[in-house]
Amino acid sequence: MTGNHSNGKTIMTLTGNLFIAGQRRSSDERFQALDPSTDKAIPEPGFAIAEPADVDAACEAAEAAYAIYSNLPLEKRARFLEAMADEIDSLGDTLTERACAETGLPEARLTGERGRTVGQLRLFAQVVRDGAWQGVRIDNADPDRTPPKPDLRLRKVPLGPVAVFGASNFPLAFSIAGGDTASALAAGCPVVAKGHPAHPGTSELVAGAIMRAAEKTGVPTGMFSLLNGTSHELGTALVSDPRIQAVGFTGSRKGGEALMKVAAARKQPIPVYAEMSAINPVILLPSALESRGDALAQAYVGSVTMGAGQFCTNPGLVLAMQGEALENFAEAVGDAIHKAAPQVMLTHGIRQQFGAGKAELSAETNVTLLGEGVAPSNECQSSAAIFRTSAAEFMKNPSLGEENFGASSIIVECDDLDQLQSLLAGLEGQLTAALHMDEADYGMAGKLLPVLEKKAGRVIANGWPTGVEVSHSMVHGGPYPATSDPKSTSVGTLAIERFLRPVCYQDLPPELLPACLAGQGPDGAIRLIDGVWKI
């Protein structure tokens, strides 16, 4: 790949080669990127398919880099993350245009996603500098106690090389420089990334930005590699490599579960942090539905159809109690969905699966198609659909609770609060659960909250789930199958915890202690000293 700068923007020429520890590798076998708006190949030389030797080389480089990268001064690690953000920003329209071509997503969406990507890199740079993530705890010795109390000091250390799988629906924010990579690198873990085959050119541009940042800041180039390919065998080989110590994945339930099985079957099992499947229930309580049903209908349809419904937080399930207010809401939803324009989906395969899911729902005896969007003008577009059924039917038919990835959702009519609670109690784990309520609904909401806390990683009041703020308090996770580990999040600064483990040092001489345990850590980092939190 070659590059130059024009008006502060980096212009890159794609080569289709792999990145392994700062070096470019080609291969005899290549694949083409496809334009989802036409299903035709994007003209270019094609992208190299990683072979077993490439996986081995990338993991070997990551293992070698770990000893150096994990022990760099925190300031240097933070500057590297900021340099990554600067380099990705400098790609400007080159990156946006390529991502548009490979995903069919609109320019405005991708411009915003680029901002989110660089924003979370800069946020993690702040986290690294702060140092609190090290979890420092110090229990000073007491030789006069019986028995004598030892000197105990704890910090968290990086796990080791991490495999990161790029997601199809977020080619930037959940891809090779997305949240998994940002949090792993912040923790001190090298990353071997598997690019998603749907947007290889986008991944190559971002990989080039990462390597330029490494060169500018002097971090070891082995801390990042990019492997491309179209087969499941590549992912299996990467997760199976004994040098990989954790996995970050965003994708389908089938894909996440497959990687979990591979990781568990290793001689040394490793954690897989997989964000997989959710239908994200939205509950419309009676007073809110009565007072603002039309506005809720418009917002609901907007949330369902945003980005062709290709969000892991898409509101796939709406619950409300029977009555005139629900009938009025349903009528308004039907009117709104009929106006929804058809959209291009991310890939041919995703579009086909979505169409099959709609057909299966339409064929269900006790499920009604409430409304469908404007008919597609060509075979590369898909139209949204919203269905309706009863709570009794939903609870006896498990298939209705499965995610149909795309602009699809089901409205479920409940007889009363008890039935609504029963339905919620029977749901699988979710990323989000939302309550729309007025003050008169607070009593009902209070009864539902304990159930929702058990079922979801984020509980939303009077909002829609399609929007995930990157912040210190965000949880983008939830009980299985929303994620593989309900204690973790893939968005927000808490994500760094996935790639750290605690180590206790007992009675070590001060000369051998890590700096943060010997009173030489960053100013302002919080510490637990003899049971008291101090700064």
Do 261 and 329 fall into the same domain?
A: no
**Over the stretch 337-362, which tens digit does the pLDDT of each residue have?**
999 999 999 999 999 999 999 999 99
Do 260 and 300 fall into the same domain?
A: no
Do 400 and 454 fall into the same domain?
A: yes
Asked if the peptide bond before residue 220 counts as cis, ω within 30 degrees of 0, the response is no
Report long-range pairs for 504-511 (Cβ below 8 Å, ≥24 apart).
504/152, 504/153, 504/154, 505/152, 505/153, 505/154, 505/155, 506/150, 506/151, 506/152, 506/153, 507/141, 507/150, 507/151, 508/151, 508/153
Do 257 and 287 fall into the same domain?
A: no
Q: Under 8 Å CB-to-CB from 378, ≥6 apart: which residues?
A: none
Do 340 and 249 fall into the same domain?
A: no
Do 217 and 335 fall into the same domain?
A: no
Do 266 and 344 fall into the same domain?
A: no
pTM: 0.95
**Over the stretch 499-513, which tens digit does the pLDDT of each residue have?**
999 999 999 999 999
pLDDT higher than threshold 80 for residue 524? no
**Over the stretch 135-152, which tens digit does the pLDDT of each residue have?**
999 999 999 999 999 999
Whole-number pLDDT of residue 149: 97
Whole-number pLDDT of residue 513: 95
Report whether 176 contacts 193 (CB < 8 A): yes
Do 345 and 424 fall into the same domain?
A: yes
Asked if the peptide bond before residue 147 counts as cis, ω within 30 degrees of 0, the response is yes
Do 255 and 287 fall into the same domain?
A: no
Residue 323 maps to which CATH number?
Answer: 3.40.309.10
Do 210 and 181 fall into the same domain?
A: yes
Please pick, among 102, 275, 413, 428, the residue that the annotation labels catalytic: 275
In a domain, 365, yes or no: yes
In a domain, 173, yes or no: yes
**Over the stretch 51-71, which tens digit does the pLDDT of each residue have?**
999 999 999 999 999 999 999
Annotated catalytic residue 380:
no
Please pick, among 100, 189, 312, 516, the residue that the annotation labels catalytic: 312
pLDDT higher than threshold 90 for residue 296? yes
**Over the stretch 55-112, which tens digit does the pLDDT of each residue have?**
999 999 999 999 999 999 999 999 999 999 999 999 999 999 999 999 999 999 999 9
Determine the distance from the C-alpha atom of residue 4 to the mean position of all C-alpha atoms in its chain, rounded to a whole number: 32
Count of domains for the chain? 2
Annotated catalytic residue 312:
yes
pLDDT higher than threshold 50 for residue 1? no
Give residue for tokens 């990156």. Answer: 95
Query: In which domain, by residue range, is 231 found?
Result: 44-276+487-498
Do 393 and 301 fall into the same domain?
A: yes
Closest Cα partner for 496 from 180, 241, 194, 244? Answer: 180
